[in-house]
Protein backbone atom coordinates (compact mmCIF):
# COMPACT_ATOMS: atom_id res chain seq x y z
CA UNK A 1 0.00 0.00 0.00
CA UNK A 2 2.92 2.33 0.70
CA UNK A 3 4.15 2.03 -2.91
CA UNK A 4 0.68 2.84 -4.19
CA UNK A 5 0.53 5.94 -2.00
CA UNK A 6 3.98 6.98 -3.23
CA UNK A 7 2.93 6.53 -6.84
CA UNK A 8 -0.22 8.54 -6.25
CA UNK A 9 1.86 11.27 -4.59
CA UNK A 10 4.15 11.41 -7.65
CA UNK A 11 1.11 11.59 -9.92
CA UNK A 12 -0.42 14.44 -7.91
CA UNK A 13 2.93 16.26 -7.97
CA UNK A 14 3.14 15.95 -11.74
CA UNK A 15 1.50 18.24 -14.27
CA UNK A 16 -0.60 15.32 -15.47
CA UNK A 17 -2.92 15.09 -12.48
CA UNK A 18 -5.24 17.95 -11.52
CA UNK A 19 -5.60 16.87 -7.90
CA UNK A 20 -3.89 18.83 -5.15
CA UNK A 21 -4.28 16.62 -2.09
CA UNK A 22 -3.28 12.95 -2.23
CA UNK A 23 -5.66 11.76 0.50
CA UNK A 24 -8.64 13.60 -0.99
CA UNK A 25 -7.79 12.29 -4.44
CA UNK A 26 -7.48 8.75 -3.09
CA UNK A 27 -10.95 9.06 -1.53
CA UNK A 28 -12.34 10.41 -4.81
CA UNK A 29 -10.97 7.39 -6.66
CA UNK A 30 -12.42 4.98 -4.10
CA UNK A 31 -15.80 6.74 -4.29
CA UNK A 32 -15.72 6.59 -8.09
CA UNK A 33 -15.13 2.86 -7.90
CA UNK A 34 -18.10 2.45 -5.56
CA UNK A 35 -20.34 4.48 -7.88
CA UNK A 36 -19.62 2.33 -10.92
CA UNK A 37 -19.72 -0.92 -8.99
CA UNK A 38 -22.78 -3.04 -9.45
CA UNK A 39 -21.73 -6.59 -8.68
CA UNK A 40 -24.79 -8.22 -10.23
CA UNK A 41 -24.45 -6.35 -13.52
CA UNK A 42 -20.68 -6.87 -13.61
CA UNK A 43 -21.14 -10.59 -12.97
CA UNK A 44 -23.66 -10.85 -15.85
CA UNK A 45 -21.38 -8.88 -18.17
CA UNK A 46 -18.45 -11.09 -17.28
CA UNK A 47 -20.43 -14.25 -18.10
CA UNK A 48 -21.67 -12.67 -21.35
CA UNK A 49 -18.16 -11.79 -22.53
CA UNK A 50 -16.86 -15.18 -21.42
CA UNK A 51 -19.48 -16.77 -23.68
CA UNK A 52 -18.05 -14.78 -26.57
CA UNK A 53 -14.42 -15.54 -25.74
CA UNK A 54 -14.20 -18.71 -27.81
CA UNK A 55 -13.47 -18.67 -31.54
CA UNK A 56 -15.90 -21.54 -32.20
CA UNK A 57 -18.73 -19.66 -30.52
CA UNK A 58 -17.90 -16.57 -32.57
CA UNK A 59 -18.03 -18.70 -35.73
CA UNK A 60 -21.45 -20.01 -34.65
CA UNK A 61 -22.68 -16.43 -34.24
CA UNK A 62 -21.34 -15.43 -37.64
CA UNK A 63 -23.13 -18.36 -39.28
CA UNK A 64 -26.38 -17.66 -37.44
CA UNK A 65 -26.34 -14.02 -38.47
CA UNK A 66 -26.69 -15.28 -42.06
CA UNK A 67 -29.73 -17.44 -41.21
CA UNK A 68 -31.30 -19.85 -38.74
CA UNK A 69 -29.51 -23.19 -38.98
CA UNK A 70 -30.12 -26.77 -37.93
CA UNK A 71 -27.62 -28.34 -35.54
CA UNK A 72 -26.57 -30.76 -38.28
CA UNK A 73 -25.83 -27.84 -40.63
CA UNK A 74 -23.68 -26.17 -37.98
CA UNK A 75 -21.86 -29.47 -37.34
CA UNK A 76 -20.93 -29.74 -41.02
CA UNK A 77 -20.05 -26.06 -41.46
CA UNK A 78 -17.79 -26.05 -38.39
CA UNK A 79 -16.53 -29.65 -38.62
CA UNK A 80 -17.62 -30.29 -35.02
CA UNK A 81 -19.06 -33.26 -33.24
CA UNK A 82 -22.63 -32.99 -31.97
CA UNK A 83 -21.63 -33.04 -28.27
CA UNK A 84 -18.99 -30.35 -28.80
CA UNK A 85 -21.38 -28.13 -30.77
CA UNK A 86 -24.15 -28.64 -28.21
CA UNK A 87 -21.79 -27.54 -25.46
CA UNK A 88 -21.02 -24.28 -27.28
CA UNK A 89 -24.67 -23.69 -28.17
CA UNK A 90 -25.67 -24.25 -24.53
CA UNK A 91 -23.23 -21.58 -23.35
CA UNK A 92 -24.58 -19.09 -25.90
CA UNK A 93 -28.17 -20.05 -25.07
CA UNK A 94 -27.63 -19.66 -21.31
CA UNK A 95 -26.45 -16.09 -21.89
CA UNK A 96 -29.48 -15.30 -24.05
CA UNK A 97 -27.45 -14.87 -27.24
CA UNK A 98 -28.83 -17.86 -29.14
CA UNK A 99 -32.26 -19.51 -29.24
CA UNK A 100 -32.62 -23.25 -29.73
CA UNK A 101 -35.95 -24.32 -31.25
CA UNK A 102 -37.10 -27.91 -31.77
CA UNK A 103 -39.08 -28.52 -34.97
CA UNK A 104 -40.15 -32.13 -34.98
CA UNK A 105 -36.97 -34.20 -34.77
CA UNK A 106 -34.79 -31.27 -35.80
CA UNK A 107 -33.20 -28.64 -33.58
CA UNK A 108 -32.65 -25.20 -35.08
CA UNK A 109 -30.62 -22.32 -33.72
CA UNK A 110 -31.08 -18.62 -34.28
CA UNK A 111 -29.81 -15.39 -32.82
CA UNK A 112 -31.95 -14.02 -30.03
CA UNK A 113 -31.04 -10.42 -30.95
CA UNK A 114 -29.49 -10.10 -34.39
CA UNK A 115 -28.80 -6.36 -34.04
CA UNK A 116 -26.64 -6.79 -30.94
CA UNK A 117 -24.65 -9.60 -32.55
CA UNK A 118 -24.22 -7.54 -35.75
CA UNK A 119 -22.77 -4.65 -33.76
CA UNK A 120 -20.47 -6.92 -31.73
CA UNK A 121 -19.08 -8.68 -34.79
CA UNK A 122 -18.42 -5.39 -36.58
CA UNK A 123 -15.94 -4.39 -33.88
CA UNK A 124 -12.43 -4.80 -35.25
CA UNK A 125 -9.71 -5.37 -32.70
CA UNK A 126 -6.23 -4.26 -33.64
DSSP symbols for 49-81: HHHT-SHHHHHHHHHHHH--EEHHHHHHHHT--
Which strands form 106-111's sheet, in the order they lie side by side?
A: 69-70, 106-111, 98-103
Residue 74: CB atoms within 10 A of its CB come to 22
The whole-number pLDDT of residue 125 equals 57
At 9-54, the pLDDT tens digits run 888 888 788 888 888 888 888 888 888 877 788 888 888 889 989 9
pLDDT at 106 over 80: yes
Q: Which one of 1.10.540.10, 1.10.10.10, 3.40.350.10, 2.60.40.10 gives the CATH number of domain 44-122?
A: 1.10.10.10
What is the radius of gyration, based on Cα positions, of the chain? 23
The whole-number pLDDT of residue 126 equals 41
The whole-number pLDDT of residue 89 equals 97
Q: Where are the domains of the chain?
A: 2-36, 44-122
Q: Mean pLDDT score of the chain, rounded to an integer?
A: 88
Amino acid sequence: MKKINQRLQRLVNSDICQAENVEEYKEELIQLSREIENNEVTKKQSKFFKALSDKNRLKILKLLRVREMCICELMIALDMSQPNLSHHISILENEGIVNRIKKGKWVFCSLSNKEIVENMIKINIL
